[in-house]
Amino acid sequence: MTRRWLLAVCIALGATSAWAQAFPGRPIHLVVAFAPGGIADTIARTVGQKMSEKIGQPVVVENRSGAGGIVGAKYVAAAAPDGYVLLVTTTSLAINANSKEGVNPVAQLTPIGIAASTPTIFAVHGSVAARDLMDFVRNVKGGRFTFASAGIGSAEHLAGEYVFRSVPGLEATHVPFQGGAPVNTAIVSQQVDLASTTLPTALAFIRQQTMRVLGVASQKRMAQLPSVPTLGESGFPDFENASWIAFFAPARLPEPVARLLNAEINAALGQADVRERLSAIGLETRTMTQPEFAEYIKAEVGKWAQVIKSTGITPN
Q: What is the tally of structural domains in the chain?
A: 2
Please say which residue of 204, 234, 264 terminates a domain.
234
Phi then psi for residue 30, to 5 deg, are -100, 115
CB-based contact 147:308 (threshold 8 Å)? no
Claim to verify: residue 192 and residue 215 sit in the same structural domain: yes
Asked if the structure places residue 18 within a domain, the reply is no
Asked if the structure places residue 223 within a domain, the reply is yes
Claim to verify: residue 105 and residue 129 sit in the same structural domain: no
pLDDT > 90: percent of the chain: 84
Which residues span the domain enclosing 252?
Answer: 24-118+243-311
Claim to verify: residue 221 and residue 123 sit in the same structural domain: yes
Q: Where are the alpha helices (DSSP H) in 23-79?
A: 39-55, 70-77
Claim to verify: residue 139 and residue 229 sit in the same structural domain: yes
Claim to verify: residue 222 and residue 137 sit in the same structural domain: yes
pLDDT > 70: percent of the chain: 93
What CATH number has the domain bearing residue 271?
Answer: 3.40.190.150
Residues 251, 71, 306, 293, CA torsion sign: positive
Residue 316 or residue 152, greater confidence? 152
* pLDDT one-digit tens code per residue, 250-272: 999 999 999 999 999 999 999 99
Claim to verify: residue 144 and residue 230 sit in the same structural domain: yes
Claim to verify: residue 206 and residue 123 sit in the same structural domain: yes
Question: 3-class SS at 135?
Answer: helix
Claim to verify: residue 191 and residue 258 sit in the same structural domain: no
Claim to verify: residue 169 and residue 276 sit in the same structural domain: no
* pLDDT one-digit tens code per residue, 14-25: 544 554 568 999
What CATH number has the domain bearing residue 129?
Answer: 3.40.190.10
Claim to verify: residue 266 and residue 182 sit in the same structural domain: no
Closest to 194 in 3D by CA, of 120, 90, 142:
120
Whether pLDDT at 9 is above 80 = no
Conformation bin of residue 269: beta by default, left when phi > 0, alpha when psi is -120 to 50: alpha
Claim to verify: residue 168 and residue 303 sit in the same structural domain: no
Please say which residue of 210, 234, 258 terminates a domain.
234
Length of the chain: 316
Pair type for strands 109-125 and 242-250: antiparallel
Asked if the structure places residue 8 within a domain, the reply is no
Claim to verify: residue 53 and residue 107 sit in the same structural domain: yes
